[in-house]
Homo-oligomer: A and B are copies of this chain.
Amino acid sequence: QKAGQLFSGLLAMNVVFLGSAFLSSMIFNHVAITLADVWILLSILKVLCLCWITYYLLGTSRQPHAVLYRDSHAGPIWVRGSVLLFGSFSILLNVFQIGYSALLIQCKSKVEIVFPSIEIIFICTQAFFLWHHSKDCIQVQHNFTRCGLMLAIATNLLLWLLAVTNDTIHMEIESQLREVERRFEGKAPFPHPYLCNDTTLCTCPNTTICKVFQKGYILLYPFNTEYCLICCSVLYVMWKNVGRRISHHHASHIKPKFRLQGVVFGPLLGATAVIIGICVFMVYQVQATSSVPNRQVFVMYYSYYIVLLPLMSVAAVIGTIIHALEKKELDTLKNPTRSLDVILLMGAALGQIAMSYFSIVAIVATDPRDLLNSLILSYSVLLIFQNITQNVFIIDGLHRQPFAAAAEARHMGHTGQHTVASELPGEEDATASNKQEHVQMPPGKEEEMKEEQNHEDYDQRRVSMLELGQEIRKVSLSYIQSYSHLSWKRRALREISFFLVLCNIILWIMPTFGAHPVFENGLEKTFYGYSTWFAIVNFGLPLAVFYRMHSVGGLLEVYITA
């Protein structure tokens, strides 16, 4: 098994390095290696992936005993949903691109229609494959499947790299364009690096439809990058699950459902934050992109963050403290999905933290007493603090035994054996003393279970009616007390995670759709020099965006299991 993992990993590494070398050559030496060369390489990889996926769908997965086990943790609904959502946006993006190229067919080569078509087929097939097979623990053709999965991961990583580098080129050109606009005060056509290499020749013939294609392309672009990263993470979990055998007990978890009941303040506060954030974002976008950016808009933008980030940090810290108080059992079963989640959270946070530290050093070294600079300084410090506290909160939450599973384990213990006292201290404590506080059950379940227990007690001991009445009274009293005692913790956890979900959504929207103050305020750009700061942002920003999206997923899981 180790050998298969090693070899498929080496395969992916070589493909990624070859692709990165191609990409770098394209960026730094446009003449020798063109974008078309990179596209040819990627198309070959995509076609290979398509062949493998087809073979998997028709051959491997239909063999007898191919899929005996399915990993219940892998590919939760929100992940598969976002694969579908972002996948369809990416397809729309490619349709726009084909339409745009078809309109300007006289000055473009026909390959610019061929490549997006391959991309559409690839996205569709991959989304179908991930929707149906992301939980598979395949038991046949281990090594071939591993190599196929690694090839798909490498292809998606390279697509992401291409998208990220192109995204930043687009940013660069946009900022240059703004300067040109400022100088001439006229309307220049938007020269997208992909769509049009020489702006002078290719201008939109039909203004409305062409503008729609252009704007749609720019708006949908960020979804494509997210799509590639999500596919990578799902494929990686599948790769880890190849050949894995799951014990029956482990596989038979009851999935906790998503319910909105019992949360009030979190959604309210979060919605307020989102609405204010959208207003700030729109003012910022209008102010910062259409005319000369003034300081006011930056002050507004950073003030919003400086108010929001401490709230989020405090919420995360309180959540961590509640987690510590709860003393819930830790879930220590092997779970590749969760390990990956933790690594991705920590890894993606590095991008934001690195950028913040670079900002801090730049500001401290120049002039920290200026108003805007002191705002940026506190913004950076708060971002680091917020990232760390939120990571600790999510990781802590993911390692807790999910609520329903714990209840189910008790349930099974009761119906199965009667000698489970040592394993279930909470249950015993609840009947023994009313002051115990670590029984965590939903009202319906607990009632059901108590009734069952009472029934058993009746059968076994044949107590008198008086005794039974007393016991029922005691149990219901303890239930009410423990519920009212516990529910504040569960409710607080749910409020906090819901609030954080909404905050992370707005913090995801803002950089995704174009607010890049780290680039536009000009402070770090002048300190480090254009190209250096560009490289740092190029590394940090896509990770920061991915971090917000991934946090939303993690927080939703914490919300559900709380």
Taking beta carbons and an 8 Å cutoff, which residues of A are in contact with B? 2, 6, 10, 13-14, 17-18, 20-22, 24-25, 28-29, 32-33, 350, 353-354, 357-358, 360-362, 365-366, 384, 388, 392, 395, 399, 527-529, 531-532, 536
Min CB gap A332→B, angstroms: 10
Task: Give the 6 A-B CB pairs with smallest separation, nearest first.
Answer: A32-B365, A21-B361, A21-B357, A17-B357, A21-B358, A28-B532
A360-B21 contact in complex given A14-B384, A350-B13, C-beta closer than 8 Å:
yes
Task: Determine the distance from Cα of A354 to Cα of B28 in the docked complex, in whole angstroms.
Answer: 16
Task: Determine the distance from Cα of A528 to Cα of B33 in the docked complex, in whole angstroms.
Answer: 11
| The residue from B2, B384, B395, B529 contacting A28, defined by CB atoms under 8 A apart | B529
Min CB gap A535→B, angstroms: 8
Instruction: Check if A33 sits within 8 Å of B388, measured CB to CB.
Output: no
Instruction: Check if A361 sits within 8 Å of B33, measured CB to CB.
Output: yes
A25-B527 contact in complex given A17-B353, A33-B361, A354-B17, C-beta closer than 8 Å:
yes
Instruction: Check if B13 sits within 8 Å of A353, measured CB to CB.
Output: yes
Q: Which residue of B lies closest to A17 (CB)?
A: B357
Task: Determine the distance from Cα of A528 to Cα of B10 in the docked complex, in whole angstroms.
Answer: 26
Query: For chain A, what secondary structure do more than half of its interface residues adopt (helix, strand, loop), or is it mixed?
Result: helix
Min CB gap A329→B, angstroms: 14
Min CB gap A211→B, angstroms: 36
Min CB gap A117→B, angstroms: 27
Min CB gap A34→B, angstroms: 10
Task: Determine the distance from Cα of A149 to Cα of B558 in the docked complex, in whole angstroms.
Answer: 32
Instruction: Check if B20 sits within 8 Å of A354, measured CB to CB.
Output: yes
Instruction: Check if B528 sits within 8 Å of A28, measured CB to CB.
Output: yes
What B residues does A365 contact at CB under 8 A? 25, 29, 32-33
| The residue from B25, B384, B536 contacting A528, defined by CB atoms under 8 A apart | B25
Instruction: Check if B360 sits within 8 Å of A32, measured CB to CB.
Output: no
What B residues does A388 contact at CB under 8 A? 10
What B residues does A6 contact at CB under 8 A? 392, 395
Instruction: Check if A24 sits within 8 Å of B366, measured CB to CB.
Output: no
